[in-house]
Amino acid sequence: CAAREPSGAEMSEIRSWVFWRAVAAEFVGMLLFIFIGISAIVGKDKNEVPGESIAQELKVSLAFALAIATLAQSVGHISGAHLNPAVTLGLLVSCQISALRCLCYTLAQMLGAVAASAIVNGYSRQHSLGVNKLNVTIEQGFVIETLATLQLVLCVIAVTDKRRSDVKGFAPLAIGLSVGLGHFAAISFTGCGINPARSFGPALIRGEMENHWVYWLGPMCGGIAASLIYDFLLYPRSANLRTRKNVLLHGPEDENDAVEETAEDNGSPGPSRWPPQ
């Protein structure tokens, strides 16, 4: 988008119902995502039979993959369905969302994860609740979490790139497959975080925070790296410093135009569009 002076609508993002509906969508989406995912883990712990660990890991991986693909279709047109602080940070570094949206989305995602974890904990206190634990060294776990998240955020940024016309409705499926691949690669070694909020919710409810920082630093580094690799190496974006600053402070121009149109419609539904806002 072309550089321009911030408009009144840009300065009022926080006062827009479109914005807060998007934040609410991130909370609801994350609550459902974590509920489905850790319910599958609890079921794995409850029904695990010696010699069938691979089948159980496959079950959990598919649960997370199908959940994210389904929820991306459900709330993608409202919030962009980030449902992952690492994805949100990656899109911030890519200058596709404002810093305010990044902060509010991340808080909503964390609250949703905690709420879902508390719900599942209410009927599964005797099980692990899916708290991620390292089965490798801290250094190895950090690398695994970083790379597994990098491929996920790279996929998100690539399939939601508005310069492409060959993806369209396949973005949620591609992202779901990417989540599944991340689990296939990491679940045996780190439990597969690749989503700081997913790791945070169960750990907070159970009070098990040992090495928890790995599940934040690794995915966040992966998200930042994916954004930089895509935007400056693989498929560079032509945006000057002023444009990037305006986006970080006020959000993308087309997003602000949608907010203005919605305000003029006197409370009509927000913009229905994919990719992430």
Binned at pLDDT 50, 70 and 90, residue 195 comes out as very high
Binned at pLDDT 50, 70 and 90, residue 2 comes out as very low
* In the predicted structure, residue 163 carries a pLDDT above the cut 80: yes
What are the Cα distances from residue 227, in Å, to 124, 149, 164, 199, 277? 38, 11, 16, 22, 15
Q: What is the pLDDT at residue 132?
A: 96
Q: What is the pLDDT at residue 242?
A: 77
Binned at pLDDT 50, 70 and 90, residue 54 comes out as confident
Across the chain, mean pLDDT equals 86
Q: What is the pLDDT at residue 52?
A: 66
Q: Which residues of 244-260 are buried (b: 16+ CB within 10 A; e: fewer)?
A: eebbbebbbbebbebbb
* In the predicted structure, residue 204 carries a pLDDT above the cut 70: yes
Q: What is the pLDDT at residue 7?
A: 47
Domain of 129? 8-264
CA–CA gap between residue 81 and residue 160 (Å, rounded): 11
Would you say residue 276 lies in a domain?
no
Angle (nearest 5°) at CA 161 between 157 and 165: 140
Instruction: Specify the 3-state DSSP secondary structure of 164.
Output: coil
Would you say residue 3 lies in a domain?
no
Binned at pLDDT 50, 70 and 90, residue 46 comes out as low
Question: Which has more pLDDT, 74 or 2?
Answer: 74
For residues 1 and 243, the answer to whether their CB atoms sit within 8 Å is: yes
Binned at pLDDT 50, 70 and 90, residue 49 comes out as low
What are the Cα distances from residue 243, in Å, to 41, 87, 155, 239, 252? 44, 21, 24, 6, 9
By C-alpha distance, which of 127, 130, 135, 81 is closest to 108? Answer: 81
Would you say residue 273 lies in a domain?
no
Summarised one tens digit per residue, pLDDT across range 106-125 is: 999 999 999 999 999 998 87
For residues 99 and 106, the answer to whether their CB atoms sit within 8 Å is: no
* In the predicted structure, residue 267 carries a pLDDT above the cut 70: no
* In the predicted structure, residue 1 carries a pLDDT above the cut 70: no
For residues 188 and 56, the answer to whether their CB atoms sit within 8 Å is: no
What are the Cα distances from residue 83, in Å, to 32, 34, 68, 143, 195? 10, 10, 8, 22, 8
Residues sharing a CB contact under 8 Å with residue 55, sequence separation 6 or more, in sequence order: none
Q: Number of structural domains, the chain?
A: 1
User: What sign does the dihedral 113-119-120-125 (CA atoms) show?
Assistant: positive
What does the DSSP assignment read for 88-102? HHHHHHTTSS-HHHH
- DSSP H helices, 160-237, are 171-190, 196-206, 214-229
Give the mean model confidence (pLDDT) for residues 95-100: 94
Instruction: Specify the 3-state DSSP secondary structure of 52.
Output: coil
Q: What is the pLDDT at residue 10?
A: 46
* In the predicted structure, residue 169 carries a pLDDT above the cut 80: no
Would you say residue 53 lies in a domain?
yes
Would you say residue 144 lies in a domain?
yes
* In the predicted structure, residue 225 carries a pLDDT above the cut 50: yes
Give the mean model confidence (pLDDT) for residues 1-8: 45
The region, left, alpha or beta by phi > 0 then psi within -120 to 50, assigned to residue 193 is alpha
Would you say residue 271 lies in a domain?
no
For residues 82 and 277, the answer to whether their CB atoms sit within 8 Å is: no
Would you say residue 270 lies in a domain?
no
Residue 64, domain CATH: 1.20.1080.10
Would you say residue 54 lies in a domain?
yes
For residues 123 and 39, the answer to whether their CB atoms sit within 8 Å is: no
* In the predicted structure, residue 36 carries a pLDDT above the cut 90: yes
What pTM was estimated for this model as a whole? 0.86
